[in-house]
Amino acid sequence: MKILIVNDDSITAPGIEKLAKAASCLGEVWVVAPEEQCSALSQKLTLREQLTVRKAQDFPVDVVGAYAVGGTPVDCVKVALTYILKEKPDYVFSGINNGYNAGFDIAYSGTLGAAFEGARSGIPSLAFSTAGDAHLDAVEPYLLPVIRELLEEKLEPGMVWNVNFPALKTRPLMGILRDRPVAPVSMYQETYIESIQPDGTVRLNCHGVPTPDSMVPSGTDVEAVRRGYISIGKVRAF
């Protein structure tokens, strides 16, 4: 089994290390990830600039190859499939993202953007995310069992698995909720805080507050993680 691992938090992010470690128990692992943080870039593709590619000699997991790309998560998938890998991988794993990718927020997600690119290339793809303040060591025991389960499940063309782990640092895991549809709300509601500069220029800082639980429909991915469950669902890539 050949597995391509990507993310949007950069090749040095702790989450990609955990995912690569789990994937190495399943087969041949290649890591191709952004050089820098690329959150919320969705499916952005670099067209008018050159991409830098370097081999990451110090990647902390023993993989077949690890490469840092000076581009977006989607760039990483395209570069891996057309330039680095000699054969198409069997799976694309994206993550583990530092922050939930649930509800409407998946539209902005570079983690999901990379998984969508894998699916569009005909490769079964899985996206993994967790709370921004999560303790990855607490997530790790559940990661490989969830991956093994999903690899046994049928994934229709055009769909990707979307897995969100709850914040396990301060509370026990409640269990796993499967077939969670995407909530028709965002995890957070954004507002902009105005700051007027001496020259009159207006600067806006984005500030998000959690969407009230009363606005989150039951049975959805957002509700699942807020209640302390691992949320598993499918999202359409195309």
Q: pLDDT tens digit string along 3-34?
A: 999 999 999 999 999 999 999 999 999 999 99
Q: Three-class SS of residue 36?
A: coil
The answer to whether 231 and 181 are in contact (CB under 8 A) is no
Work out the end-to-end distance of the chain between its first and last CA atoms, rounded to an integer number of angstroms.
Answer: 25
Q: What's the pLDDT score for residue 140?
A: 92
What distances in angstroms separate CA 148 from CA 46, 142, 162, 217, 232, one per listed residue?
A: 33, 10, 14, 29, 13
User: What confidence tens digit (pLDDT) does each residue in 44-82 have?
Assistant: 999 999 999 999 989 999 999 999 999 999 999 999 999
- Residue 196 scores a pLDDT above 90: yes
96 cis-preceded (ω within 30 degrees of 0)? yes
Strand partners for 209:
189
What integer best gives the mean pLDDT of the chain?
A: 95
Q: What's the pLDDT score for residue 167?
A: 87
Q: Which amino acid is at 176?
A: I
Query: What's the chain's length in residues?
Result: 238
The answer to whether 101 and 27 are in contact (CB under 8 A) is no
The answer to whether 113 and 42 are in contact (CB under 8 A) is yes
Helical (H) or strand (E) element with 14: helix 14-23
Q: What's the pLDDT score for residue 31?
A: 98
Q: What's the pLDDT score for residue 132?
A: 81
User: What confidence tens digit (pLDDT) does each residue in 85-130 have?
Assistant: 999 999 999 999 999 999 999 999 999 999 999 999 999 999 999 9
Q: What's the pLDDT score for residue 133?
A: 73
User: What confidence tens digit (pLDDT) does each residue in 198-224 have?
Assistant: 999 999 999 989 999 999 999 999 999
Task: Name the token pair of 8.
Answer: 């949007």
User: What confidence tens digit (pLDDT) does each residue in 157-183 have?
Assistant: 999 999 999 987 777 899 999 999 999
Q: What's the pLDDT score for residue 188?
A: 92
Task: Name the token pair of 101.
Answer: 């990718």
Q: Exposed, middle or buried: residue 109 (CB in 10 Å: 0-12, 13-18, 19+)? A: buried
The closest alpha carbon to 24, from 6, 7, 2, belongs to 2
Q: Three-class SS of residue 189?
A: strand
Rounded to an integer, what distance in angstroms lies between the CA atom of residue 115 and that of residue 123?
Answer: 9
Q: What's the pLDDT score for residue 134?
A: 74
How many other CB atoms are found less than 10 A from the CB of residue 195?
Answer: 10
User: What confidence tens digit (pLDDT) does each residue in 128-157 have?
Assistant: 999 887 789 889 999 999 999 999 998 999
